[in-house]
Structure 1
Amino acid sequence: MSTPVTRTQVPDGVRDRLPSEAAAMRRLSARLDNVFRAWGYREVSTPVIEYLEAVAAGAANWGRREDLYQFFDRKGRTLALRPDMTTPIARLMATRLADEPLPLRLSYFAPVFRHRELRAGATSEIWQAGVELVGAPGEAADAEVISLACAAVRAADLTGFRIGLGHVGVVEGLFESAGVDPQAAAVLKEAMVARDLVAFEQGVARAGLSGERAERLLALVHFHGSYAEAVARFGGVGGRVAEALQHLGRVLEVLEALGVAEQVNLDLGLVRSLGYYTGVVFEGYLPGIGAPVLGGGRYDNLVAEFGRPLAATGFALEVDRLLMAQEQQGALAAEPGLDAVIACPPGQEAAAMAWAARLRAQGLAVEVDLLGRTGEELAAYARARGAARVLRPGVPSIH
């Protein structure tokens, strides 16, 4: 039986934004857009609604179908709200942008939609800002998007930002060397995504792993050390693990040259819920925010799902978590107020509005009081709107 609702409610997982909140989001969007453009990234926009077949190209790799918002059009075709931005941008890159010279640098600021457990402030409408770098393989491209992530958070006037850096090849390679079957691997990855060490240890035991094989996997989820320590602990496994570690080493060298290596820590047990990643993966954290504010990595196979094999990497920032961090750190810029409120006595509406028009043409923000307020009542309204002054007909002031 469904829960009764009223016309004044909004669905679970979504929210209204009041003027000050909407203004804070707009200011953050402008800052991030300035950074993205400075690095050569051009903004794109994709439909909120996609055919399920297009969404499934990513969903098959990243999550459960029940996490999607699905419905039907009038022709009976199944549609879905986009659950991420990377998949529709991959579609765009393989189709309408197919003739563009590579590499493609694209950015976005948009909401995505997923059914999520609504706890600790989680929402189903998730505003994201992010970039995709397509057609550029290798450590230089990986380092570019990581460096850009640091620059974006810095532009939001936030401090204490750290990135956890891992590689799919380390995790997959250790699972292969330990003989973990695909079903057990899926269970272990789910525990790694949730950072549930107890569930991971139980999964290792249920998989029948023991001795050195089990010890390596347990060491993986606990590892937070230097690159030299990572090589010493896992480099002897060889194969995919050794190759992944070598790639991470080259990425770290580029990040050192770019001056952001001190913000990056190796997190070899990092597994992201979006399973289309094929190489470097990373998440970003800020003090006082109990969840990642950023996630990304390399996804070299996703664009091929739409018929165009291309290497690709990118990241997405969770806008509401950045806004929360700005509030905590006192980095929220004050909402710009009005320059003036113009008093409007009865019968003087046309003159007051013409005056307002002249002031706006000078670049000022003004509004006309349409309720005929006077005296302290008008002054109180002007203070509430953040107006610098009250203008009255016949009283000399700004022109």
Structure 2
Amino acid sequence: MIEDSEMSNALLPIGFCDLLPSDAEAEACVVKWMMDAFADYGYERVSPPLLEFEQSLLSHAGSGIADQTFRVMDPETHYMMGLRPDITPQIARIAATRLINSPRPLRLSYAGACVLVSGAKHNASRQILQAGIELIGIDSPQADAEIITITAEALASAGVSSMSFDLMMPQLANSIIQTEEFSEHQRKGLLRALDRKDVAAVQHYAGNLADTLTTMLQAAGPADRAIEILQGLDLPLEAQQILERLLTSVKAVQAHNPELQLTIDPVEFRGWNYHTGLCFAVYVPGISGEVGKGGRYLSNNGEPACGLTLRPDLLLPLIDFDQYSRQRVFVPFGHTIEELRGLRKDGYILIMGLKADENITEEAHRLKCSFIYKNKELQPVSV
């Protein structure tokens, strides 16, 4: 226990912080812009609880988040509960229970805080903000493309002008590897080599598949170039079907947004534990690591689903919020809110004076106001 009472009152756990007025307002603005964009395309907002029973939180799609889940015991029921590290499994639960009879495809959006056991390498925060969408009840390239292109629209609405979507099919490399009988040692070595993008190690462990897997490694990059290389490979039937789905999804995205930057990593599979098809990560210049990720999975009742979760909090350093700032008006003591409604409708921030004898100009300066409300007019604050 910390003995210094002044220190203990201000100290927060590692990875947690207070958001002060300007940052908190900026974060709220980014979330609003994103959620408005999602709503424009028919995604209806839901709000699951921050805490729920471990049994439901970590089942089905939630099985991959167990390691990042804080657990506490419910004093009422003595059942274990978990603080959500990710909202997606909760959306899958809602779709399979509360909204089981709603028409499909089901379009849902969400935003809220999550708590992680440990932060990422590029970001130590353990309380993070998520905002995303899920499209549940349909499995098609067009659905994949909708998730990607609407996410791009949401990012653009939040002021992000440049972004890249990295597309992956985690099952592709595995479907090829399964056609050969590798020893456990070879298989582990090959998967590790693919994970590390180590061409020499892939050639050492891959045997008859060395040329194919090496070409796939080297194909990673811009989508059009990657597709041209991958289409030249002689793949097993299952792998060819997986590749065709990837190519069709890419064409569907490009039909919606030809200018959207797409890249393909044909051998990436790490971190996609519960996904069943196309996966994607979102990158924005100037931000280390991904700002969003998602993909295709099965909802709690086995329904096909696809979604993408963004991290709005990571975008704050890139956005110029000064262009969205509202001017502040100092309103001397004695005025009523009723007579100020017009100013509020015009977008001004109203700072109400609380003392009859205060120096109006000094208070306006001190409270960073641009105008003083006087004689039913706005008068600029003198410098």
Give TM class, smaller chain: 0.7 to 0.9
Post-superposition shift, 1:381?
A: 1.4
Post-superposition shift, 1:219?
A: 4.4
Distance of aligned partners of 1:9 and 1:322 in 2 relative to their CA distance in 1, 3 Å threshold = same
Distance in structure 2 (CA, Å) of the matches to 1:6 and 1:165:
46
Distance in structure 2 (CA, Å) of the matches to 1:209 and 1:112:
40
**Equivalent pair of 1:360/1:366 in contact (CA under 8 Å):** no
Post-superposition shift, 1:272?
A: 5.3
Distance in structure 2 (CA, Å) of the matches to 1:116 and 1:187:
28
Distance in structure 1 (CA, Å) of the matches to 2:193 and 2:87:
25
Q: Which amino acid aligns with 1:380?
A: H
The answer on 1:380 being equivalent to 2:378 is no
Tell me the residue number matched to 1:17. Answer: 19
Distance of aligned partners of 1:284 and 1:147 in 2 relative to their CA distance in 1, 3 Å threshold = same
Post-superposition shift, 1:170?
A: 0.9
Structure 2: give runs of 5+ residues left out of the alignment.
none
Q: In the TM superposition, what whole-angstrom CA distance separates every residue of 1:217-256 from its partner, at most 9, and x where no partner exists?
A: 45444422431211224xx221321111111111122222
Distance in structure 2 (CA, Å) of the matches to 1:95 and 1:181:
43
The answer on 1:368 being equivalent to 2:352 is yes
The answer on 1:98 being equivalent to 2:79 is no
Distance of aligned partners of 1:375 and 1:158 in 2 relative to their CA distance in 1, 3 Å threshold = same
Post-superposition shift, 1:197?
A: 3.9
**Equivalent pair of 2:190/2:206 in contact (CA under 8 Å):** no
The structure with more strand, counted as a fraction of residues: 2
Q: In the TM superposition, what whole-angstrom CA distance separates every residue of 1:245-297 from its partner, at most 9, and x where no partner exists?
A: 11111112222221336421222133352411100001111111111111111
Output aligned runs, 1:232-271, within 5 Å.
232-233=232-233, 236-260=234-258, 262-271=260-269
Q: In the TM superposition, what whole-angstrom CA distance separates every residue of 1:195-229 from its partner, at most 9, and x where no partner exists?
A: 6446x976x69xx8243434544544442243121
**Equivalent pair of 2:171/2:269 in contact (CA under 8 Å):** no
**Equivalent pair of 1:14/1:125 in contact (CA under 8 Å):** yes
Percent identical residues: 24
Tell me the residue number matched to 1:343. Answer: 332
> Which residue of the other structure, out of 43, 55, 58, is the alignment partner of 2:57?
55
Aligned partner of residue 167 in structure 2, secondary structure: strand
Structure 1: give runs of 5+ residues left out of the alignment.
345-350
Aligned partner of residue 8 in structure 2, secondary structure: coil
Distance of aligned partners of 1:187 and 1:76 in 2 relative to their CA distance in 1, 3 Å threshold = farther
Post-superposition shift, 1:58?
A: 4.7
**Equivalent pair of 2:216/2:230 in contact (CA under 8 Å):** no
Aligned partner of residue 105 in structure 1, secondary structure: strand
Output aligned runs, 1:93-242, within 5 Å.
93-117=95-119, 119-179=121-181, 196-197=196-197, 209-222=205-218, 223-224=220-221, 225-233=225-233, 236-242=234-240
Tell me the residue number matched to 1:390. Answer: 372
Post-superposition shift, 1:60?
A: 6.3
Tell me the residue number matched to 1:348. Answer: none
The answer on 1:358 being equivalent to 2:339 is yes
The two structures have a TM-score, normalised by structure 2, of 0.85
Tell me the residue number matched to 1:67. Answer: 68
Distance of aligned partners of 1:264 and 1:14 in 2 relative to their CA distance in 1, 3 Å threshold = same
Output aligned runs, 1:309-324, within 5 Å.
309-324=302-317
Distance of aligned partners of 1:254 and 1:79 in 2 relative to their CA distance in 1, 3 Å threshold = same
Aligned residues: 368
Post-superposition shift, 1:103?
A: 0.5
**Equivalent pair of 1:163/1:264 in contact (CA under 8 Å):** yes
Aligned partner of residue 269 in structure 2, secondary structure: coil
Post-superposition shift, 1:325?
A: 2.9
Aligned partner of residue 142 in structure 1, secondary structure: helix
Aligned partner of residue 255 in structure 2, secondary structure: helix
Aligned partner of residue 232 in structure 2, secondary structure: helix
